[in-house]
């Protein structure tokens, strides 16, 4: 007996990630509907070949030379110290949702996550053998990329369906993870709850890193994120570095009757507050990093777009009481 096909649910306040719109010859297959009726697709993200990377990087350099703003090149890119360990060309497969209501946008793949993945792949020596925690992992793309370099990755988010999607994506790409000797653990971590599990193997010798791809689009969630980050850092026995990729989402607001980026402004305010913390336990230093590292994954990465709509930040955390 044929079962009726579940109905796809569309909502008027859905938002669309444009990552998939500019992929040449891209193919996407709908695999299922999630528990709220949203279609789930499998998308393919290809690693660029050496020739493709060279062409894109040359194009970016030409655009930089024509621009009034000249960004410095990353130190490792100048010295070429990390280029000996570039990953071999292959593809990643991910279950994700293309369009979803605003508060379910973590189920989508955003450009900021791909830029963060490029940064990770440009620094293989930095992350080799490390322990990494990703906050707000979404579909798990950044965690899986990191698992090709790090010893252990904790992929954290909230929601049974979302965590299940992360686990399925890890299974889809386990050939890459196992070949590199990495390990990914999916864990529940709710920023809006006061209890916090920190059993993340913080005694590792090679250091601890926290990664966050675009999550700061709502002020309440942003506040919860910084509270969680503060509690995590206070529980670590050693110094850790936090890398945050953020997309500036411009909207027309009735309050200002103009185009503004309120969520990004609130994020900047929270960064300043964190840097000013004086609690006798930890100190924090914030630095914005240039996005001048090479491109490794196939997606639309226009230099002007990256400079004006994306930000990559490094927060250095140093415990004062060891």
Residue 3 resides in a domain: no
- The mean pLDDT value for 230-237 works out to 86
CA-CA distance, 48 to 54, in Å (whole number)?
A: 9
| Domain assignment of residue 7, yes or no | no
For 306, counting Cβ atoms within 10 Å of its Cβ (0-12 exposed, 13-18 middle, 19+ buried), the class is buried
176 lies in some domain: yes
Question: What would the pLDDT profile of 210-224 be if each residue is shown by its tens digit?
Answer: 999 878 888 999 999
Look at residue 288 and give its three-state secondary structure: strand
**DSSP string of 139-195, one letter each residue:** TSHHHHHHHTTSSEEEEEE--HHHHHHHHHHHHHTHHHHHHHT--EEEEE--TTSS-
Q: Are 208 and 202 in contact (CB under 8 A)?
A: yes
**Domain for residue 124, yes or no?**
yes
Q: Is residue 64 part of a domain?
A: yes
pLDDT over 60 (residue 269)? yes
Q: What are residue 15's DSSP bridge partners?
A: 100
Residue of 139, 241, 127 whose CA lies nearest to 180: 127
Tell me which residue of 175, 171, 109, 183 sits closest to 146, measured CA to CA: 183
Pairing of strands 152-157, 240-247: unpaired
Q: Name the residue among 140, 144, 145, 141 with its Cα closest to residue 123.
A: 145
Q: CA 215, CA 209: separation in Å to the nearest integer?
A: 17
What does the pLDDT look like over 153-202, one tens digit per residue?
999 999 888 899 899 999 999 989 999 999 999 999 999 887 765 445 44
Domain count, the chain: 1
Alpha helices in the chain (DSSP H): 50-66, 75-79, 111-121, 124-127, 141-147, 160-172, 174-180, 219-235, 262-275, 303-309
Q: How far is CA 198 from CA 133, 212, 226, 261, in A?
A: 10, 17, 15, 33
Q: How many CB atoms lie within 10 A of CB 307?
A: 17
The pLDDT of residue 96? 65
Environment class of residue 313 by beta-carbon count within 10 Å: exposed (0-12), middle (13-18) or buried (19+)? middle
Q: 29-33 and 39-46 as β-strands: parallel, antiparallel, unpaired?
A: antiparallel
pLDDT band (50, 70, 90) for residue 235: confident
Query: Rounded mean pLDDT of 95-123?
Result: 76
pLDDT at residue number 267: 94
> What is the pLDDT, as a whole number, of residue 286?
96
Task: Give me the mean pLDDT over the 12-40 stretch.
Answer: 64
Residue 4, domain member (yes or no): no
User: pLDDT digits over 282-296, tens only?
Assistant: 899 999 999 999 999
Average predicted confidence (pLDDT) for the chain: 77
Containing structural domain, residue 107 = 14-319
- Does some domain include residue 6? no
Cα 31 to Cα 38, 101, 108, 287: the distances in Å are 11, 20, 15, 41
> Which of 2-11, 86-95, 98-107, 242-251: highest mean pLDDT?
242-251
Residue 1, domain member (yes or no): no
- How do residues 59-90 score in pLDDT, each as one tens digit? 555 544 443 333 233 333 333 334 343 444 47
Q: What CATH number is given to the structural domain containing 194?
A: 3.40.50.150
Average pLDDT over residues 27-39: 68
Confidence of residue 92 (pLDDT cuts 50, 70, 90): confident
d(CA 318, CA 240): 7
* First-residue to last-residue Cα distance in the chain: 66
Tell me what pLDDT residue 280 has. Answer: 84
Q: Which two tokens stand for residue 82?
A: 């990390």
Going by pLDDT thresholds of 50, 70 and 90, the confidence category of residue 4 is: low
Which one is predicted more confidently, 128 or 66?
128
- Band (15; pLDDT cuts 50, 70, 90): low
């Amino acid at each position: 007996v044929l079962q009726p096909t579940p109905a796809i649910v569309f909502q008027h306040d859905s938002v669309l990630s444009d990552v998939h719109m500019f992929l040449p010859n891209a193919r996407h297959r709908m695999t299922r509907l999630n528990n709220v009726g949203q279609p789930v697709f499998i998308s393919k993200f290809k690693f660029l070949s050496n020739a493709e990377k060279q062409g894109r990087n040359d194009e970016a350099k030409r655009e930089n030379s024509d621009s009034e703003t000249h960004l410095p090149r990353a130190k490792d890119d100048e010295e070429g110290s990390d280029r000996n360990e570039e990953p071999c060309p292959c593809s990643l497969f991910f279950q994700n949702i293309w369009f979803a209501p605003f508060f379910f946008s973590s189920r989508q793949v955003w450009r900021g996550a791909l830029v963060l993945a490029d940064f990770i792949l440009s620094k293989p020596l930095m992350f080799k053998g490390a322990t990494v925690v990703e906050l707000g992992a979404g579909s798990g793309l950044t965690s899986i990329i990191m698992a090709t370099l790090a010893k252990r990755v904790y992929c954290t988010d909230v929601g049974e369906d979302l965590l299940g999607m992360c686990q399925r994506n890890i299974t889809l790409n386990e050939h890459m993870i196992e070949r590199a000797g990495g390990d990914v653990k999916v864990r529940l971590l709710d920023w809006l709850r006061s209890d916090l599990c920190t059993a993340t193997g913080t005694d590792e010798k090679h250091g601890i890193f926290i990664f966050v791809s675009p999550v700061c689009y709502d002020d309440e969630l942003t506040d919860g994120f910084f509270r969680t980050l503060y509690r995590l850092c206070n529980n670590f026995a050693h110094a850790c570095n936090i890398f945050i990729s953020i997309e500036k989402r411009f909207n027309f607001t009735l309050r200002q009757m103009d185009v503004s980026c309120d969520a990004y402004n609130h994020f900047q305010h929270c960064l300043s507050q964190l840097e000013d913390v004086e609690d006798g336990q930890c100190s924090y230093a914030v630095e914005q990093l240039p996005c001048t590292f090479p491109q490794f994954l196939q997606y639309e990465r226009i230099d002007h777009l990256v400079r004006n709509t994306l930000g990559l930040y490094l927060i250095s955390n140093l415990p004062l009481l060891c």
